[in-house]
Structure 1
Amino acid sequence: MNDVRLYSKTDFSKCQLTQHPLYSYIQTFLNHDISCLVENCRNATCYAIEFGKELILVVDAQFQAGQTYPTSLRAQYLDYAQEELALTEIKGQKLLSGAFRLLKTIVPQKIDEAVYVGNYLVSTNLFPNFTLEEVQAIELLLNKHFPNKTIVYRSQNSFLNQELMEHLDVLDYQPFISRQVFIAHQAQVIKRKKSFKKDCKLAKDTMFDIRIDFDVENYTERIIELYSQLYISKYSKINPLYTTVFIEAMTDAQNTQFIGIFDDEKLIGVTMSWSFDGVLTVPILGYDLSYPKEAGIYRLLTYFTLLRVNDEQIFHMSSGVGPFKLSRGAEYFPEYIYYKRVPSAKGYTCSFWLLQKLNKILIRISKKKVF
């Protein structure tokens, strides 16, 4: 296979894959301090890996209190999961919550010393098709440059990443369930849904103005405000808190599209979709929570993204509001993080053993109920 090469911010200009669909996105993260793009991420440094005709972002992270969960295993499993648990109504909720609190006192901070492959500082990462030899070569490269670091692959599900998951299994990476995700991939099924037809009627009757690729630069602060209302204030402070610099950079990034919903000239709803290799996802979504549910802002944002599903395009709807997404033709899949820890690192064995015990409980819960 072709050589695998690691680039830092100082030598990324040597990369020749300027036409790669992720080049401009990766360039943004290598040209800026990461906290300038994601305000609550101050514990990581970005790199790029080139192999053949593919290019991916790699994030080297360490522990720092209060970090966003895409760069912190502790935040993902001991903070974010506990917050999600509080929103559910399952048996043993108080017992599980107590177990999370106990684990936080046991699991060492060093567990966050990890290097993430294909981590784009968003909730849902999209991956190319790796061969087994490429995964092996990437591992050798990362072990050379980041010794004593756990290697992590986020956002793995059997619908999109079955082959990669099999390669990771062969190489002794351990799976850990992270969340429930929903994928819409059958346009004809989607269009037959009653809910889709109702959303179509809503789109025709709405008094709001729907604008695709509007003048985003004039609304960057408002976009951050709408996103933060939903994902930071309502859901969790450890969701990525993007900055206006990030939004401005995304207007020039390849394969991104902004959709805005306007009440006169007031932006009241927004999505930024990002697509790669026939799959699109929505890293940025927000709407004005002061408007009543009956206004249907979230329904409209979802509807106009679902319209893009066809034989060549899949919509990865990420996690949350599962019943809503299932009613619109999406299918449910458990999503996993795969990791390979450093065998020689002291204090890891017990921590990862405890997390695997927790993993089994979370898998059972996920099979019983859609969130």
Structure 2
Amino acid sequence: MCEREEPALYGKETIGLLRWETKRDGAYAKAYLEPLIKDGVEPYIANIRTTMLALTIDDLVMPITVNDADYDNAYVCSPYTHYVSYAKEELYLVPAGWQRALLGGVLTLLGKWLRAGRVNKVVCVNNWLLSTNLYHPLTAEQLARITAFLADLYPDHAILFRSVQDGTDGMLPKLLTDAGYKAIMSRQIYVYKPEQDGELPSKHRWILKRDQKLLSACPYTVRRNDEIGDEEVRRIAELYGQLYLAKYSLHNPQFTERFIHMALREHLLSIAVMTGGDKAEATKGGQQAADAVLGYFVRNGVMTTPLFGYDTNIPAEASLYRLLSAQLVADARQHGLILHQSSGAASFKRCRGARPHVEWNMVYDRHLPARRRQVWSGLQWISEKIGMPLMRRLKL
């Protein structure tokens, strides 16, 4: 049993006092968090302005981010961007033009209301500034202490836990609800568990088997962290940018070359590049330029992939998205991990055995004035009455 330690925060001036060696995954957390706390976040993620601190309690250490406004931040650090700016970009998924126009107007009004209610004045707990935050197990008693500590320290900020769902997080959604947190729908995510392969419909098993055959027979070579040269960092950033920024949204985290270099060399992400396609060009180091990249991290038996991209100029017949996805499934099987597949490409993931789960933003606002609480209650109502039915109807 771990030694009890009261909650504490460490910032730029005090981070050197943190005893990382006493914390779970302390070496990993130090390599990841210390540079972002000391140097600021923007040199590593270009579209995030925030104050990052390290929160410790008992044998746990996790990042928190503190914001007051910053309405242009990436969605991982801005409820406004998540529920308004990003949501507007997703309206193309709504088939009827009149519905798109109506929802666009609703989102504009919602945005004005959320700004007036200072929705971005938040402290986000365990915020690694990635599309998905993974959690170590937390007890009800630890959550109560964290909540009381932060509410006392930041009496004018809502307290937010992102990426909470029951597919991999166990009792966390219930524990947060019991602690007084409001559950506000975030998105629908997909979880693949290799140990459940035998329970899948035969067609799903056949598709997974076909993908693995494609991966084995493809012309690409997979190289991992220590086999990837520093000169390839720029190409990795380009591949991520082509897919997640140019094709999807500029509201996604804009990882800089500095972040990717740190993730590569410190093994903050397990990075794999695919090289050797028919039109591959050589890099300065003599390696063929990568056509695709993935990067995942693991926590508590779960893996998720915040770094994912490929050359979108290569014809679809090359099946790069499918190959990357097959590689993730292969890694999950090899290491006995649950694969958190995030959101999007719903039909692709469903027919490969991934199961849908609703992901929540859990918000504590009981210490805030009534007007501020009304904003979060209203957002909760909208997510339940409009967001959830729309998500189900569109099969996202």
In 1, Cα distance between the equivalents of 2:332 and 2:221? 22
Pairwise CA distance, 1:17: 2.4
Equivalent in 222, 225, 228 of residue 215 of structure 1 = 228
Q: Does 1:237 align with 2:237?
A: no
TM-superposed deviation, 1:323 = 0.9
Q: 1:301 and 2:324 equivalent?
A: yes
Contact 1:334 1:366 in 2 (8 A): no
Deviations 1:214-261 (A, max 9, x none): 324221111111111111111111111010111111123355211101
Count matched residues: 370
Residues 108, 347 of structure 1: 8 Å contact kept:
no
2:231 aligns to what SS in structure 1?
helix
Contact 1:68/1:240 (8 A) holds in 2: yes
Are residues 1:292 and 2:299 paired?
no
Q: Residue 355 of structure 1 corresponds to which residue in structure 2? A: 379
Structure 1 equivalent of residue 74 of structure 2 = 68
- Higher alpha-carbon deviation: 151-160 or 161-170: 161-170
- Residue number in structure 1 paired with 2:351: 327
Tell me if the contact between 1:180 and 1:370 (Cα under 8 Å) persists in the aligned partners.
no
CA shift, 1:343, in A, is: 4.5
Secondary structure of 1:35's partner? coil
Paired with 1:129 and 1:37, the residues of 2 have a C-alpha distance of 28
- SS of 2:265 mapped into structure 1: coil
Hey, what does 2:109 align to over in structure 1? Answer: 102
Deviation of the 1:128 alpha carbon? 0.9
Task: For structure 2, list consecutive stretches of 5 or more residues without a partner in the other structure.
Answer: 281-287
SS at match of 2:171: helix
Q: Determine the structure 1 residue equivalent to 2:302.
A: 279
Secondary structure at 1:34's aligned position in 2?
coil
Answering whether residue 47 of structure 2 is matched by residue 47 of structure 1, we say: no
Contact preservation (8 Å) 1:37, 1:243: yes
| Paired residue type of 2:313 | S
Deviation per residue, 1:254-308 (Å, 9 max, x gap): 5521110113402110011111111111111110000111101111111111112
Moved more, 59-68 or 17-26: 17-26
Identity %: 26
Question: Matched residues in 2 for 1:308 and 1:193: separation?
Answer: 17
Q: What code does the residue aligned with 1:302 have?
A: S
For 1:186-225, what aligned pairs fall within 5 Å after superposition? Answer: 186-187=194-195, 189=197, 193-213=205-225, 214-225=227-238
Aligned residue number for residue 283 of structure 2: none
Cα separation, 2, equivalents of 1:351 and 1:2: 34
Q: Distance in 2 between matches of 1:45 and 1:57?
A: 10
CA distance in structure 2 between the partners assigned to 1:134 and 1:103 by the alignment: 34
Cα distance in 1 for partners of 2:148, 2:132 equals 25
Q: Indicate the residue corresponding to 1:318 in structure 2.
A: 342
CA distance in 2, matches of 1:345, 1:298: 47
- CA RMSD of superposed structures (Å): 2.1
SS at match of 1:298: helix
Alpha carbons 1:58, 1:119 under 8 Å: kept: yes
Aligned partner of 1:169 in structure 2 is: 177
Distance 1:240 1:216 in 2: 23
Match of 1:270, SS? strand
Identify the residue that residue 337 of structure 1 maps to in structure 2. Answer: 361
Q: Distance in 1 between matches of 2:315 and 2:79?
A: 36
Q: Cα distance, 1:346 vs. partner? A: 6.4
CA distance in 2, matches of 1:23, 1:277: 18
| Partner Cα separation in structure 2 for residue 242 and residue 175 of structure 1 | 29
Q: What SS does the aligned partner of 2:332 have? A: coil
Partner residue of 2:19 out of 5, 9, 16: 16
Instruction: Flag structure 1 segments of 5+ consecutive residues without an equivalent.
Output: none
Letter of the aligned partner of 1:8 in structure 2?
Answer: G
**Take 1:251 and 1:199, find their aligned partners in 2: how far apart are those partners?**
27
Measured in 2, the distance between the counterparts of 1:254 and 1:229 equals 23
Q: Which residue of 1 aligns with 2:63?
A: 57
| C-alpha distance after superposition, 1:326-348 (max 9, x if no partner) | 12211110100000125444642
Between 349-358 and 31-40, the greater mean CA deviation after superposition? 349-358
Q: Please, what TM-score do these two structures have when normalized by structure 2?
A: 0.88
CA separation in 1, counterparts of 2:94 and 2:299? 33
Deviates more, 1:214-223 or 1:115-124: 214-223
TM-score w.r.t. length of structure 1: 0.93
The 1-side partners of 2:314 and 2:375 are apart by: 45
CA distances 1:165-189 after superposition (whole Å, capped 9, x unpaired): 1121112110010001001112461
- Provide, for residues 107-144 of structure 1, a one-character-per-residue CA deviation record: whole Å limited to 9, x for no partner: 22521010000111111000111111101111122123
- Tell which deviates more after alignment, 164-173 or 207-216: 207-216
1:370 aligns with 2:395: yes
Query: One-letter code of the match for 1:362?
Result: G
**SS in structure 2 of the partner of residue 334 of structure 1:** strand
Q: In 2, distance between residues paired with 1:167 and 1:148?
A: 23
Letter in 1 for 2:122: A
Contact 1:220–1:247 under 8 Å retained in 2: yes
Aligned to 2:264: 251
